[in-house]
Amino acid sequence: MDVVFFFQWLDASMLAEFSKSSSGIFAVVQTIHIASMVVLGGMLLLGDLRMLNVVLSDVPSSLVIENTKKWIYLALVFIILSGIYEASAIAMKLAYNSFFFAKMAGLSMGIVFILSLRSAVYRRAPGLVYPEGSSQTLSQSDTLRPWIVKLVAVTNLLIWFGVASSGRWIGFS
Amino acid sequence: MLNELLFRFASWLDTFQSSTDLHESLYMYSWVESAHVLTLMLFLGMLLVIDLRLLGVAFRNIPASKIVERLDKPMMIGFIVMVISGALLFYAIPVRSTQSIWFRIKVVLLIAAGVNAFLIRKMTRSSAMKAWDNDPVPPKRIRVGAALSLGLWTLVIGAGRSMAYDWWDCTKELPYFMYWAAGCVNEMAAFEQ
């Protein structure tokens, strides 16, 4: 499907006119984009490393995941808004940039993944990822095998690593 | 005086063939820069979790000492990678970096963030921490340190990002003060004549 028309529309929009006019504001928005990336990356890393029993292994995993949720959503909102602003300034360049499309595909996949599979699997994480004797340990029949939880953690890390690195390479291409 | 010393040091680094090779390499420079930016998520991501806990706005139901101690190792791994990749990026473009006002601001901010981190570390490693370890909201002095940390590191990101722009490069026509602040030694000499 030819999507160049969308980039042409974005390039001619008032937002593009504004974003192209001030490199100072553009730099501030870039900083917000990177800072939001730190929030998202940090919270996802913490949750996934917890599920892999690398960090905070003596803290109930549900506590860690619960605390990271709202920060992940907040960071995603800022990343998308600042990303649209940045894209508007270089819309026609992005229309022919394969790294941009790789990033968008990864971002969509990542969002769907954390809202569906990651969330569902982490809710049914087995006793292994909870401290021994914790009252929050689910019964055996309600839990998933540890390797499934760990596979989801590794997959999530790989998806978001791909999103961040393809985003970085937009600048080089 | 300091400007000239820094300029001479940067010019000396610039004479190395490996510095030019790294800067002009097709992929290596981009990989080093990507590593520098991506490791932000490990280093600053873990620091963010610690600071949010010390601010009392997240992870309030987990003892502060646990967050501070357990996340120290991954955070330091990220920090080491950032320092190495940052040093390589400087080595690849030593003269322009030394004469970048944004790089200079970044270094000053890094020193301030380092002193602040040292003070927070001291306060969170003392026996007095036991008194508030399980409190959802830590004492005011800890919260001030955590807020400062978040603010300083956000400014570090901003200064680092701004280095890519040529707004105040030595090649531009600038007021004398800006030449001095950026360390544009040759331009300062031309200005004085």
Read off the pLDDT of residues A37-53 as tens digits, 9 standing for 90 and up: 999 999 999 999 999 99
In angstroms, the CA B86 to CA B84 distance is: 5
In angstroms, the CA A126 to CA A146 distance is: 6
Q: What is the pLDDT of residue B80?
A: 97
Q: What are phi and psi of A52, to 5 degrees?
A: -85, 5
In angstroms, the CA A29 to CA A171 distance is: 15
In angstroms, the CA B115 to CA B112 distance is: 5
Determine which of A19-23, A30-34, A122-126, B51-55 has the lowest per-residue pLDDT on average.
Answer: A122-126
| CA–CA min distance A31, chain B (Å) | 5
| Higher local confidence (pLDDT), A94 or A143 | A94
Using the Cβ of A69 and the Cβ atoms of chain B, whether some distance falls under 8 Å is answered with no
pLDDT means over runs of 10, chain B (193 residues) = 94 97 92 91 96 96 94 96 96 96 97 96 87 94 97 97 92 92 92 79
Which residues in chain A have their CB less than 8 angstroms from residue B167's CB? 23-24
In angstroms, the CA B192 to CA B41 distance is: 45
In angstroms, the CA B61 to CA B63 distance is: 7
Q: What is the pLDDT of residue A136?
A: 53
Measured in residues, chain B has a length of: 193
List the structure tokens of A155: 């997959």
Q: What is the pLDDT of residue A140?
A: 61
When the pLDDT of each residue in chain A is averaged and rounded to a whole number, the result is 89
Q: What is the pLDDT of residue A128?
A: 46
DSSP string, B61-120: TS-HHHHHHHTHHHHHHHHHHHHHHHHHHHHHSHHHHHT-HHHHHHHHHHHHHHHHHHHH
Asked if A31 lies within 8 A of B157 by C-beta distance, the reply is yes
pTM of the model: 0.91
Q: Which of B42, B55, B59 to mutate to test the interface with A (most CBs of A within 10 A)?
A: B59
User: CB pairs under 8 A, 24+ apart, for A142-149?
Assistant: A148/A121, A149/A51, A149/A121, A149/A122, A149/A125
| Higher local confidence (pLDDT), B157 or A136 | B157
Asked if B40 lies within 8 A of A34 by C-beta distance, the reply is yes
The shares of helix, strand and coil residues in chain A, as percent rounded to the nearest 5, are 80, 0, 20
Q: What is the pLDDT of residue A60?
A: 86
Average pLDDT of the segment spanning A138-150? 78
Asked if A31 lies within 8 A of B71 by C-beta distance, the reply is no
Strands (E) across A93-134 are located at none
List the structure tokens of B106: 């970044």
List the structure tokens of B1: 């005086």
Given a cut of 80, whether residue A131 has pLDDT beyond it is: no
Q: Which of B102, B118, B111 is nearest to B162 (CA)?
A: B102
Which residues in chain A have their CB less than 8 angstroms from residue B58's CB? 67, 71
| CA–CA min distance A77, chain B (Å) | 17
Q: Which of A71, A165, A168 sits opposite B58 (nearest CB)?
A: A71
- Residue B173, CA atoms < 13 Å, CB-side half-sphere: 0
For A91-130, the pLDDT digits (tens) are: 999 999 999 999 999 999 999 999 999 999 998 886 545 5
List the structure tokens of B182: 């950026």
Using an 8 Å Cβ cutoff, are A92 and A7 in contact?
yes
Using the Cβ of A34 and the Cβ atoms of chain B, whether some distance falls under 8 Å is answered with yes
Query: In chain A, pLDDT over 70 holds for what percent of residues?
Result: 90
In angstroms, the CA A126 to CA A147 distance is: 10
Asked if B62 lies within 8 A of A172 by C-beta distance, the reply is no
Q: How many CB pairs under 8 A join A and B?
A: 89
